[in-house]
A and B are shown apart, each in its own frame.
Chain A
Amino acid sequence: MRLNKMTERVITTDLSAARDLIREIIREVEAAGYDKDDCFAIRLATEEALINAIKHGNKFDRSRKIRVSTDIDSQRVEITIADEGEGFDPASVPDPTADENLEKPCGRGIMLMRAYMDEVIYNDKGNEVRMIRNRFSGLPKIRKTSANILERKDD
């Protein structure tokens, strides 16, 4: 039997609302039988995406909303997070693992989302991200090469 739980939620631009939502999502992921690695990965990616929506998308404006939809079945988890901001070009974000960026305190969120989820897809405007993780797909999704370049394991 294919169990499938789709949920749509709207939260205010607020850290505590984000924290409560992450807890709810992880409870649902656990209830669907996902293991600790999956839960860790989904928790991390969801936290990073929600914080980006709050901070960079909605710029802490509490009058703006964040839409979050989750689609959880026995084989994969899909989470879509949309803010009401101007959007951005994710390709313009510097690689935080480059030697010259290692000491920067910020800028690792998108890289972590990509590292811990199987797919991370932005819409054209850059204010909505869809993240997919397949069950039991391990940690993390990227590896270091001898040239210190991070590549996806499945490339």
Chain B
Amino acid sequence: MTNPCNNNDFSISEHQKDNAVIVSIVGSVTTDKADELRERLEQIAAKQPPIIVLDISKMDFICSAGLGAIIIGYLKCRHHKGQVRIASPSDKIRELLETTRLDKLLDVFDTVEDALKG
């Protein structure tokens, strides 16, 4: 079984739900994975969806470079007045978002359904 304290697995998947793109980020966003996350978010944002929901329920770690990748996606989305919403963070990741005050920049929701409602 994978140990979440020392897990280096990482994957991204996406699917459309109405006018939103739900992006599931799974595992650990370490520095060497941050570029992959940034590129994927930029690709999605380039299609100009009104809402991008980042489902991070299965994210167990993110470093500053990973946070930076999300911010770049947010800025790119804002160009076309789109929104990036965070959904379902674990307690640790929520604390990280609060500690960095990124919860002031990005709306954080308890569930994907809540994030879709806005």
Contacts and interface: CB of A to CB of B under 8 A. Distances in A.
Interface string A21-62: 001001100100000110110011001100100000000000
Interface string B20-45: 00000000001110000000000000
Interface stretch (A1-9, A76-84, A100-108, A121-129): A100-108
Contact of A30 (B6, B95, B99): B6
B56 to A, nearest CB: 15
B109 interface: no
Contacts of A16: 32
Given A105-B68, A105-B71, A112-B64, A43 B6 contact: yes
Main secondary structure of the interface of B (DSSP, over half): helix
Nearest to B101: A97
B67 interface: yes
A23 B8 contact: yes
Q: Contact size class for A?
A: 35 or more
A47 B6 contact: no
A139 B99 CA distance: 10
Nearest to A52: B64
A51 B92 CA distance: 21
**B: contact size bracket:** 20 to 34
A105 B66 CA distance: 9
A15 interface: yes
Q: A-side binding surface: helix, strand, loop or mixed?
A: helix
A94 to B, nearest CB: 13
A104 to B, nearest CB: 7
Interface of B: 3-6, 8, 30-32, 61, 63-65, 67-69, 71-72, 74-75, 92, 95-96, 98-102, 104-105
Interface of A: 15-16, 18-19, 23, 26-27, 30, 36-37, 39-40, 43-44, 47-48, 51, 96-97, 99, 102-109, 111-112, 115, 139-140, 142, 144, 148, 150
Given A19-B8, A139-B95, 20 more contacts: A15-B32, A23-B6, A27-B6, A30-B3, A43-B6, A43-B61, A44-B61, A96-B100, A99-B104, A102-B104, A105-B69, A105-B72, A108-B64, A108-B67, A109-B64, A111-B100, A112-B64, A112-B96, A112-B100, A140-B99
